[in-house]
Structure 1
Amino acid sequence: MVRQPRYLWLAEQLREPILRGEMPPGTRLPSRTRLARSYRVSEQISRTALRLLVTEGLVEARPGSGYFVRTVPELFRLCRTDSSSGSGLGKLRREDIGTEQEPCSAPLSSRLRLRDGEPVYRTTSRGLASELPITLHQSWEPASLTAGTLRTPFDAAPDIGLLDRLSAAGHPVDRVVEEVGVRSLRDSEASLLGSAPGIPVLVVERTHFSANRPVETSDLIGTAEQCRLLYKLTLARPRRPGDPRRR
């Protein structure tokens, strides 16, 4: 039987009472030296165990003060099965930041099937909870779809949704595709979310199609620690014996 490394064993001794609620948020953990003496391990082992708990999000290090049990962040469930194909922000308040026109570039050009340099409209918004940013939403659509009309993101009334606006411009959306992944938060995104670059974030890439043509694509970004994606799927009911319905 493979012997468990001592730092993993020590981390487990601290993790269990934290998860059981015996050490509530804000509780100060013993110092590295005290842990080493109490559990008869080296300070290197106690340091590694504490860093592991920091990585797991159970403990936070406060420079000059020590290690403390971390407050569990509030979770936000983002519904991805909304009937209107909207942002699905749930109880978050939407804050519109603005729309700009910019040249399309890879990998966006592949998602929209455009040439590099073709103009697109980029719209940015955030999802807020108690005035704190939780999610970032950026969407892009080809400018050629609505240029010269009153259906651009600049001209349309704020209460008109994406689907209604594109349909009025002659591009009714008939299909939506989503792809979910995890990546590191980028510098430009971090400033809008008030977070540190490099932390893991969930990214939902959603693309709207009209007659097999991509007419809008977007990224919904939220920290992996606070955001969950909620999917509700309707399954076909099993056929019962004696059901008169035809095959």
Structure 2
Amino acid sequence: MGHHATPSSSLQAGGGGGTGWERVSCSAQSQLSSNSLSASFKLQVHGIVRRSSSFNTGRIEHLYKNPQAHIEGNMKLHYGDLTDSTCLVKIINEVKPTEIYNLGAQSHVKISFDLAEYTADVDGIGTLRLLDAIKTCGLINSVKFYQASTSELYGKVQEIPQKETTPFYPRSPYGAAKLYAYWIVVNFREAYNLFAVDCIVIGNSVLLVHCGGKQSVDSK
């Protein structure tokens, strides 16, 4: 998707309190951005980061020629937060992305017990805010949405090894919040025909939930 004159661009969301790029694994955020920037076609990458007193984007700093400027090359960061629907609508309406990757979360399982309401607000309702912003901006038919999910959905596993038919059984506020996010993505896909996938990383395999709602394993 494109930022105005740009033929194609992606928006990678990672804002939300103590969440954002700084909480996404280095390999996930860096590799995804690097791959996007090195794509054979013209692709502009936009990221949403939480405003803080320090420039806390060290894991993607190598992608910038001038990190403080936020405008070098094909990558641009926007200050925002998954708890603020107004800013999400504003950014999505400005960028008009063709792809959105939701990488933001309060992802610490133990802390989720101490900050259960906050975790639910960012990880669960934050995903809803992002999806609703897509709908509000009239981009349902043009955006592809990626939801970064987690093996914590399975929590207290009912069988070992886990299979695609293993039922979800989250055992933490974090897992429960991500389960809500999982199902709200499914809901938007089925209700509005949004192209949306949940990606669950387990060990060396990735479970992809496709448009039909079925899962398939792609081994890395």
User: What TM-score, normalized to structure 1?
Assistant: 0.23
Which entry has the higher C-alpha Rg, 1 or 2? Answer: 1
- Higher RCO (C-alpha 8 Å, min separation 6): 2
Q: Which structure shows the bigger proportion of residues in helix conformation? A: 2
